[in-house]
Structure 1
């Protein structure tokens, strides 16, 4: 797996006389460093400027006894400016070396910033390949709201989760939702363990007592949605009646208890496809992790992760709806989190109403009466620790019901389906949604936005 770093040795006098003929490089290229962050309003150090990633190739070799991994990240990106240097987000572990387009690139660390300086400046528009080799015990990262992410060891293995910052604990990259890419993730583990990730399992090979699992995700994915689950999972692979591949992985102790709910994945996907439009990915599924793996569920792309002690039907409906709202249509910044959680909460309300439970109006009234939903406007969380707080979910869902009340069912559902269709695989902001909603419905919704989306006070109950 280890790739040797090579430095091209050329005598100084000869090097000075040689023209630069490498693709994307030349004597006329005068680059400048890419920005070391994207100035996200809540996580200002995340992300990097000067390039756009199109593909991550990640190879991870996991040692169960020590918890260490050896990793190789191959990152294909296009320069969006003339680059003399660029940054990757990476927390912890030891970098053994790096290359850019096959040439040695010095790598410097400062906190969670890994700065690489290519042998030649990279011209704007050039597609270049960066390889970083690293090893160590990946970190667990504590969020501002005290939840844990990154690399989460558990009794039988480990779980890697990334929302909002944790992906940089196990691979270097442009760790911001605004830069989405395709992924190929290969995890090598001791035989007897499973290694599950996003997308489709394209191969698994055993040699010398170790098995390598290769997972392929062709559709663009934000880094916070990448995941790895390592453990003695019981897995099942089959096709839904629609032909969509389904892959599930469950802790052995929870296999029987979770079976009935997991079996409803095809039904949930079919219902959500009817409500929101065609399912946006090439496969679906879920991972039911051990209770000690994480304190929350997460909409990791194609396979949401739900800890066994939180696994139930409403949560599965919520996380699968995120495949449309959050995974396919992804927020441009963490300030736009309600576009994920408000929509997924509303999907829960719709499902419950359509399957003999409370009406959407009853859910709305319950949310309206819950004081925690009025702590702040859903589009303006006061700090990073509130981006997953109650108003983002409950009041976010109330915004959608108020749109529905205003424009009527036909226009509302045409809006929702159009939103996910017209922005598929893209990134969006709250302003994108408000403009789109008014254009699609033909309604002036300014008063609604002012009161329900941005207002500080609780509006009068409609």
Structure 2
């Protein structure tokens, strides 16, 4: 087919030349980061460097008012872009100019600036909003929990969208200033260090600062009445722990556990390398959830973690995540093993240190106590699927894989692998395959088969195969580590089901 060649007039040609290249090339940023488990999580087209959150919260009505200021750099020429957010927005400014916005999907805020944004441009986005977070549901779920005297937000894989607009994926880390005003008599707990507080007109404002790169889901906020205990580690790291005043019988056991934070951090620093952040601590709000979470520099613990008495093991687990999960975060959510397998193995290392069972004994028990026909073995820790991210197999099978690796390469190479992973990817991300390649490089051994056996096989490795990696002595008597887990086939994912999985399986 022949096409006509149209030659523009001189005036038209000049008009074409006058159009900025950015305007001609600009396209919408992707509404997701490309994660296979959560396609709409995160966004494309920009990279956030800092969040400044100025909030006001009234517990009596659960009303949250906020102004979020994001500084970012465009990674493509943008005609529009998305933020992940669920609350009601009243105004958006891009580089100080009012910008059009609309809500699409269940948690997408779509923003169209008044003019296209060139690639590589530093931008400032201001979002003003107000809503009642606990009433905003996605799939029947809200990450915002009301408490008797306030509220708390801490969850995984997503929680930021219920209190600040963000690029909500672990690959886009940023620093934070979080300023929160609450009625006098209440306190706030968040990440990093409390830089200042002041009271005026019946409100007290707390200013928190986190100066190291931090994933959005690791950002937390609690409001209520707390007993605050401060300390320092042996290396001088500031420690701040907070306990809700109404924990009842769980108060003393929680305190007996979390007050060992300094000791645990000092020990884990000898195992995993220097602690990567400039503050640490933990907090226990009065909530009914049954999980703990590695919120950066200040892990969240539910009271139920201590309902059976002191539980230092859960503290060891969440503090180990400060290295495995927080310093080096997942590249995609399918890589959850690089978080949970390692934090579970840290508990095994602590057990060995305390004389309560060696890592080898625990690995043998975890392998031998679970029958081959148990659905536990159907879950592949290296790619468990979104419904099984927090399945017991990711934790226990994941830790067995690390003991198998240790047996294969020897102690010197094994601990060099762990420390090198932290140093090489500090404040970054990593996948399961990245770790396999790292372990092979450090050890000088081919290891893909080992990881295929323990992370990517949907059946129990035979006794002969397990023995190749030094795993599988007869189990001691006692309750199976997999008892009660994965008894039913996986059902379609929803936020409510993820919450149930967290409550059931997460340390």
- TM-score normalised over the length of structure 2: 0.83
SS of the residue corresponding to residue 32 of structure 1 reads coil
The alpha carbon displacement at 1:321 in A equals 0.5
User: Any idea what SS the aligned residue of 1:53 has?
Assistant: strand
User: What residue number does 1:66 align with?
Assistant: 61
Given candidates 374, 383, 408, the residue that maps to 2:377 is 374
Question: How has the CA–CA distance of structure 1 residues 386 and 251 changed in structure 2, closer, same or farther, with 3 Å as cutoff?
Answer: same
Q: Which residue of 2 aligns with 1:122?
A: 117
Distance 1:186 1:48, change over 3 A: same
| 2:93 aligned with 1:107 | no
Cα deviation, 1:411-443, whole Å, max 9, x if unaligned, reads: 000000111111110011111111111011100
Q: How does 1:46-445 map to 2 (within 5 A)?
A: 46-91=41-86, 93-111=87-105, 112-139=107-134, 150-254=143-247, 255-292=251-288, 294-311=289-306, 312-368=311-367, 369-370=369-370, 371=374, 373-382=376-385, 384-445=386-447
What's the TM-score, normalizing by structure 1? 0.91
2 CA distance for matches of 1:289 and 1:125? 42
* Residue pair 1:60, 1:69 contacting (<8 A) in 2 also: yes
| Structure-to-structure mapping, 1:14-29, within 5 angstroms | 27-29=20-22
Deviation at residue 257 of structure 1 after TM alignment: 3.6
Shift of 1:149: 5.5
Q: Shift of the alpha carbon at 1:141?
A: 7.6
Which structure 1 segments of 5+ residues have no match?
A: 1-16, 21-25
Mapped contact 2:228–2:241 kept (Cα < 8 A): yes
Question: Does structure 2 conserve the Cα–Cα contact (< 8 Å) formed by 1:84 and 1:117?
Answer: yes
Per the alignment, do residues 142 and 304 of structure 1 end up closer, same or farther by CA in structure 2, a change over 3 Å counting?
farther
Q: Distance in 1 between matches of 2:293 and 2:180?
A: 21
Q: 1:140, CA displacement in angstroms?
A: 6.6
Is this contact kept in 1: 2:337–2:398, CA < 8 A? Answer: yes
Give the C-alpha shift of residue 259 in structure 1: 2.6
Contact 2:233–2:266 (Cα < 8 Å) also in 1: no
Q: Distance in 2 between matches of 1:211 and 1:232?
A: 13
Secondary structure of the structure 2 residue equivalent to 1:29 = helix
Deviations 1:211-245 (A, max 9, x none): 11111001111101010011101112222222000
C-alpha distance in 1 between matches for 2:312 and 2:124: 43
Per-residue CA deviations over 1:53-107 (Å, capped at 9, x if unaligned) read: 100111110011100100111011100001111000111x210100000001111
Deviations 1:136-174 (A, max 9, x none): 101478898x9x652111111111113112211111111
Q: Secondary structure, in 3 states, of the residue corresponding to 2:395?
A: helix
How far is 1:388 from its partner?
0.7
Q: Any idea what SS the aligned residue of 1:392 has?
A: helix
Q: CA deviation at 1:252?
A: 1.6
User: C-alpha distance in 2, partners of 1:387/1:418?
Assistant: 26
CA contact (8 A) 2:133 2:142 kept: no
Could you list the runs of 5+ residues in structure 2 that have no partner in the other structure?
A: 1-14, 468-507
Contact 1:150 1:170 in 2 (8 A): no
